[in-house]
Chains A and B, each alone.
Chain A
């Protein structure tokens, strides 16, 4: 950290590169009063005459036809930067001639610098990571050139030393025009080829060739994947009309859909296809009702666990064989491991992106700066969005102006009472629903056990339970949202989160009670094949999934369509309904949970869910387009997505894992069917396999791993304590960094205050000097304008100021126990001590400001400290994240 600082503040190039402040422009050669815009690259005064030829270069000089060393000599050698052509790295390349000037006046336009702060920053950081001698080399090699050029050289040098992939990324990241990027790239390539010529090595060339072809292969592959995105257009239309928040629901839906396609493919290829080879003919009749009940005909198909064989499949005599038991357990096991990793990583990604700084999320007004949704391209939607934003701004302003509501004790108790009652009511409803489901299912099982007849009546009876469960799942959320309205929460955020918590509670407890029932009652019943029962029959996930899907469709029909009819005809003040993102996402999570539970009992369930999601996608889309209006509130989309992924992970996936775990380790598989028939538990098949493996010397390592790692408690004990220690360390680091962030923030604030103070002093001085030399007739109003970023003061003032700040900065950095602050963060009291330090720095600065004489000339190149701080803070935060 301190190294960074030292280098940063002593290296003039660094200062130079961070030309963020407007003040800088006053000090550069440009005249800020001219009407050239700082962004505008087009007005480069004398180079205007080159423009004409640049215009149509791609046609005039097609790139492909220009080999290196073609007739570029003909092209304008009148470049105003003639001296650069003698420069070591500037040997004109074909492409360079298209734009004879542009790269070289980085200084001429502040945005180049601004930007470069983005990209260059990272270069600087990156360079810091490299060993110091290398840094020295790159910077010293261009010490001869003039500063503008050397910065460019620096950039190119650091680019050239990157790997190809990194370099492409870095160039892409530069916020420059295409022409400039191309130029930089060409120079970098030149630099690289120059370097490569020094030590031509066959091996590296081979490697490079391989890398290139590999990259090309990757590109074509990703292109083909790109073509597979069938919903691209649909998503675009939705985004255009409803904005990102509604879009995120559909993105989540497609994500789940892809997930299910993946699991379907895995299960199908590793479990089902081998089973097809060994299948016996199915002689049950197929009527059509089975599609809904999943019983009858389907019972004897690959859809269910019970149909799978426990044999070892080998088609060729003495050829390689396929052990169905192992295939089954390993496929499911590995599938869950993959799921776990995918979920974990995407969750971590979301968390790190969205909860960088949670305490600042309450800030509102500055959100406006980045609130516009560029996805919305529909004319009407834009108008609506603008109107909504306007009302929101107005509401926000009145809220800010309003006093904080002070409730009397009476009101407060009433509020708490209402919340309590609401919670009791919702818990009661959830418990009642669970109890109802439980007794209904017991009742249903008895009915089923008494007489298993494969007729219409009994099949219809099977549908009672799933219908009831889905009904409960659909209707109770409405009750919860009604409760939420009654409660009158202070913020909409609270409302949403409380409602979601209640819904999750309800759904998870219903699924939980069903699981308990499957594992404890169905599994011990005397049914001949309980896994199939769970998978298909009475308490069958198949039917739950199916009925849930139907209810989802009905829900979008009645919930949204009828609501629109009511809203537009009967009760006009209701208006069009909004798309309820929260409820819909919860439905998706619920459906996915069912699929995961069902995978063990019915391996092809992901395939069914895949089809269901596919239909849901289009039904929801149509319903959305027909019935709904864009949401009025601005949703914090990414934050919501984070919590949804988290919900998918935490109650849903982890719950499923424990259910599966109990099934695999504890329960006795049924005697009469399935791949694990006859074993004490599903897991026993693995143990048996290991015993077989012990006879072969080749696979000793598997046995060793099994005995010493997988079944050994000691290993897990060590592993978990190690993980705990690492977690604790990270926790401490985070605490240290939080303190650090706080300190830096305070410092920026103080620097800002210093600046204000100095400006005030300066103005007093100016006024004094002007009144003393009363005739200086020019620029009278200047100091009378209140402190405002109008450019006159900005141009004049910072010259002294910046110097003052440079010193002030140094003193405060010297005084400030920065590095100590991190290392001894635990018992370090940040607030008071730094406060004092800063105050001292502030006084020093003020004193310095006093001694400033306004007329003195000052060196133009320096960095206003606050910006440096800010940049540092941002960098710092990035590294933290």
Chain B
């Protein structure tokens, strides 16, 4: 712990603590894990380096997650859109998925993760992809066309309050507010 602590300047660490929901230990642990993803020669300046998506996805916490690509995409601020992550992006991600993050923040990011085409609403296509992620891609676990239609219809009927055929953020948050389990299940801990 002490070794890695010296690598993050003290006031930067304080700032991270102030801006995220993470505690000092969690930030330091995140730093350790993050620098392990980098090649040896870049480890000194892990704060400024970017880790490519393929490396990020080797983290055991994300490896099996069906939404791994979306998570990388949503939290990455890379301007080349290669979904690579800087340390701050990484912290952002952990902060949202941490225990102490509020349900509001969590649901906001969950919405973005589920919004596969990035258009600001969950439409039928998004929902279909979401259900596919939930049920897996295996042959036997796929839903038939009719089942999928029916399911999406049900979802929209229940949660699309203004009946515009899509679920927008506030409708999504409304659904989430009815499901108290959400905050405890939308969680990734290092």
Contact = CB atoms under 8 A, between A and B. Distances in A.
Contact of A177 (B23, B80, B88, B151): B88
A870 B135 contact: no
B170 A874 contact: yes
Nearest to B122: A369
Nearest to B103: A353
A771 interface: no
Interface centre among A243, A363, A390 (most CB of B within 10 A): A390
B78 A789 contact: no
B79 A58 contact: no
B59 to A, nearest CB: 9
Contacts of A639: 180-181
B163 interface: yes
Contacts of A42: 77-81
Contacts of A789: 121, 123, 164-166
B170 A371 contact: no
Interface string A44-65: 0000100100011111101110
B162 A866 contact: yes
A636 B163 contact: no
Interface centre among B10, B179, B188 (most CB of A within 10 A): B179
A375 B178 contact: no
A177 B184 CA distance: 23
B162 A20 contact: no
Interface string A144-176: 000000000000000000000000100111110
Contact of A114 (B108, B122, B147): B108
A386 B136 contact: yes
B6 interface: no
A870 B118 contact: no
Interface in A8-38: 20-22, 25, 37-38
A74 interface: no
A375 B9 CA distance: 31
A856 interface: no
Interface centre among A114, A119, A248, A370 (most CB of B within 10 A): A370
B170 A379 contact: no
Nearest to B161: A748
B67 A372 contact: yes
Interface in B4-42: 9-12, 15-21, 23-25
A278 B171 CA distance: 67
B57 interface: no
A58 B19 contact: no
A168 B18 contact: yes
Contacts of A55: 48, 50
A394 B147 contact: yes
Interface in B115-170: 115, 118-123, 130-131, 133-136, 138, 140-143, 147, 150-151, 154-155, 157-159, 161-170
A566 to B, nearest CB: 27
Interface string A355-386: 01100110111111111111111110111001
A382 B65 contact: yes
Contacts of B16: 178
A332 to B, nearest CB: 34
A756 B170 contact: no
Contact of B185 (A222, A372, A386): A372
Contacts of A645: none
Interface stretch (A179-187, A334-342, A607-615, A713-721): A179-187
B55 interface: no
Interface centre among A226, A239, A367 (most CB of B within 10 A): A367
A200 B175 CA distance: 48
A373 B186 CA distance: 6
B170 A365 contact: no
Contact of B162 (A63, A181, A377, A751): A751
Nearest to B18: A168
A377 B60 CA distance: 7
A390 B77 contact: no
B119 A185 contact: no
A637 interface: yes
B110 interface: yes
B170 A39 contact: no
B179 A367 contact: yes
Interface in A296-345: none
B12 to A, nearest CB: 6
Interface in A251-294: none
Contact of A870 (B78, B166, B171, B178): B171
B91 interface: yes
Given A244-B185, A390-B141, A636-B181, A43 B19 contact: no
Tell me whether chain B's interface is mostly helix, strand or loop, or mixed: helix
Contacts of B172: 369
A39 B112 contact: yes
A752 interface: yes
Contacts of B78: 42
Contacts of B163: 752-753, 755-756
A852 interface: no
A516 interface: no
A236 interface: yes
A751 B174 CA distance: 17
Contact of A178 (B19, B123, B168): B19
A366 B165 CA distance: 14
Contacts of B131: 368, 393
B178 A22 contact: no
Nearest to B172: A369
A155 to B, nearest CB: 15
Contacts of A372: 66-67, 133-134, 185
Interface centre among B11, B89, B158 (most CB of A within 10 A): B158
Given A181-B19, A244-B181, A789-B123, A37 B118 contact: yes
B177 interface: yes
A386 B66 contact: yes
A379 B119 CA distance: 31
Contact of A378 (B64, B77, B96): B64
B115 to A, nearest CB: 8
B181 A59 contact: no
Contacts of A173: 102, 104-105
Nearest to A383: B136
A223 interface: yes
Interface in B46-70: 47-48, 50, 60-67
A397 interface: yes
A366 B114 CA distance: 13
A111 B112 contact: yes
B112 A172 contact: no
Contacts of A178: 16, 19-20, 88-89, 91-92
A357 B67 CA distance: 29
B92 A382 contact: no
A443 B142 CA distance: 64
B38 to A, nearest CB: 14
Nearest to A174: B105
B187 interface: yes
Given A173-B102, A369-B114, A374-B65, 8 more contacts: A173-B105, A177-B89, A222-B23, A369-B122, A370-B179, A375-B188, A390-B141, A755-B163
Interface of B: 9-12, 15-21, 23-25, 45, 47-48, 50, 60-67, 74, 77-81, 88-89, 91-92, 95-97, 102, 104-105, 107-112, 114-115, 118-123, 130-131, 133-136, 138, 140-143, 147, 150-151, 154-155, 157-159, 161-182, 184-189
20 contacts: A40-B81, A42-B77, A64-B11, A119-B104, A173-B102, A181-B19, A223-B24, A363-B158, A367-B179, A368-B151, A369-B167, A370-B110, A370-B185, A370-B186, A372-B185, A374-B97, A387-B138, A753-B163, A867-B162, A867-B170
Report the 5 A-B pairs with minimum CB-CB distance, sorted nearest first: A386-B136, A866-B162, A37-B118, A365-B154, A42-B79
